[in-house]
Chain A
Amino acid sequence: MAYSKTVNQSTMKTLTMKIRLYWQMTKSLQTGLLLSTGLAGYMSARCPVQTWQTLLALAGSLFLAISGSTVLNMVYDRDIDARMPRTQKRPLPMGQVRVVEAITLGVVLSAIGIGWAAILSPLYGLVVFTGLFFDVFIYTIWLKRRTPWSIVWGGIAGGMPALAGRVLGLGMIDWVGMMLAVAVLLWIPTHIMTFSLRYREDYAKAGVPTFPSAYGERITSIIIALSSIATAIAMAIAAYGIGITWGYMRLLIILSCGLLAIAIRSMLRPSFKMNFGLFKFASLYMLSSMLLVVLGVL
């Protein structure tokens, strides 16, 4: 009896530890942010079938597909992760999760996510699959180690959840959905380039080409600022197209002005501190603007 209890406790402990490691591999913060763009895209469509069941199914399928692609990326990048201090403590480089186990996890999560999405709506499933395809195959496997411009393709993948959500709500691809995806696409360079500025030596050690290594810090800072400005413009156009109420539009304009001001200042006087502040503000901006899109159509 006591032996069986000990075995059960030990199994539970191992299971909990595994789940914790798997959770770590899904990059929950990044996945959560992308998921929020998908939910906002869906709710922006003011679809008559906006039931909580559909919303939960959207959240579940997107979460699984995004997490699956993130895990598969980590599998492919485990060698460069091991060379960079920022990432070397991840479960794969640390040997806490075996490669076969991680591949299985990534494939299962992706397959369930895409399958679920396709059952909900074939077009929605196709957009979710396109996002995963661009992220894993085009960005990570094909381009990431070849050219710093790979981030454009990573950006396209990042924009897919917003488009997918809108497609599920509307039943078709429209210009507003595309504009929401473009806003996320333009926000992604701010995110990735700030990291590549901060961890420039790490990326160089791992042999990953980045904008700072290819074009220098000043040009990178300017591109970060320009892409933030473009994000604000794209988001404002999308919000106008969605038809959010004037009160929320005013708030969005204020946040956009804030982002523009910080971006311009960072462009005129580039420094790491300014860039990191811009990166944090841009992330907050993306989350807030998606929230405003949702609240503005309720």
Chain B
Amino acid sequence: MRRITPLDRIALLLTCLIAAYKVVAGVEGLPVLATWAYTAAFGVLIISGLLMIINGFDVLDSPLVVIIATIIPLGLSLGMVIENIPDWQLIYLAFVVVGFLAILLTRYLLPERAAAIALSLVHGLAGILIVGLPIAFVLRGAKPILYLFVSAGGALIGSGGILFALLKTGKPILSVEKFFALIPWILFLMSAAFVLGLGV
């Protein structure tokens, strides 16, 4: 595991500050559940950023990371569904709860293959919503163009997640050094994109 550098810490601190700003500022006029969904997603970002600042990249070794990290796409996508397609909120909320439980349980109770399938299904659908919903709404003229920043944020975290998964499974595209040099900045850019895009 690569040692964390002062520059990495700066990027992570900026990530935490941006996410903290969003939690405090919230999004005007949102239903309570959407606010808490966004809060949970940004909250996980803040806590994981702080843990990496304190303990270095070693925290990413924990098997809990995969489970906790799921809250980010699930929280963001749930918030977006409640905000934009409220008719679907109950169904999607059910998917979020079941999806999270599936990832949690398959990780501990079922073989690795089942865990990987659950993870790809849940992350896949949440990711499609985060990237796709803003594009669809901007094209229909229902949202301003700035909303596309959310898609950009989704694409960034998606790429980071894929790179990390490949690294973990021993088929890395980037070397360990390069990946860990990039990840704090991916997190920072992703948070900035979400903060810029959400609430417009």
Contacts and interface: CB of A to CB of B under 8 A. Distances in A.
Given A257-B43, A258-B47, A250 B24 contact: yes
Interface in B34-60: 35, 39, 42-43, 46-47, 50-51, 54-55
Given A254-B39, A254-B46, A257-B43, A247 B23 contact: yes
Interface centre among A246, A251, A262, A265 (most CB of B within 10 A): A251
Nearest to B36: A250
B76 to A, nearest CB: 15
B37 to A, nearest CB: 12
B23 A251 contact: yes
A262 B51 CA distance: 10
Interface residues of B, number: 16
Given A251-B20, A277-B54, A257 B47 contact: yes
A261 interface: yes
A284 B50 contact: yes
A267 B50 CA distance: 20
Interface range, A side = 10 to 19
Contacts of B43: 254, 257-258
B26 interface: yes
A258 B47 CA distance: 6
A247 B26 contact: yes
A248 interface: yes
Given A254-B39, A257-B43, A257-B47, A284 B54 contact: yes
26 contacts: A247-B24, A247-B25, A250-B23, A250-B24, A250-B26, A250-B35, A251-B20, A251-B24, A254-B23, A254-B39, A254-B43, A258-B43, A258-B47, A258-B50, A258-B51, A262-B51, A265-B64, A273-B55, A277-B51, A277-B55, A280-B55, A281-B50, A281-B51, A281-B54, A284-B50, A284-B54
Interface string B5-40: 000000000000000100111100000000100010
A263 to B, nearest CB: 13
- Interface residues of chain B: helix, strand, loop or mixed (majority): helix
Interface string A257-286: 110011001000000010001001100100
Interface centre among B24, B43, B46 (most CB of A within 10 A): B24
A216 B60 CA distance: 30
Contact of B39 (A248, A250, A280, A281): A250
Nearest to A245: B24
Contacts of B20: 251
Interface string B142-181: 0000000000000000000000000000000000000000
Nearest to B54: A280
Interface string A33-51: 0000000000000000000
B23 to A, nearest CB: 5
A277 B64 CA distance: 16
Contacts of A280: 54-55
A261 B54 CA distance: 15
A246 B26 CA distance: 9
* 8 closest cross-chain pairs (CB), A and B: A254-B43, A247-B24, A258-B47, A280-B54, A251-B23, A277-B55, A250-B39, A250-B23
Contacts of B50: 258, 281, 284
Contacts of A254: 23, 39, 42-43, 46-47
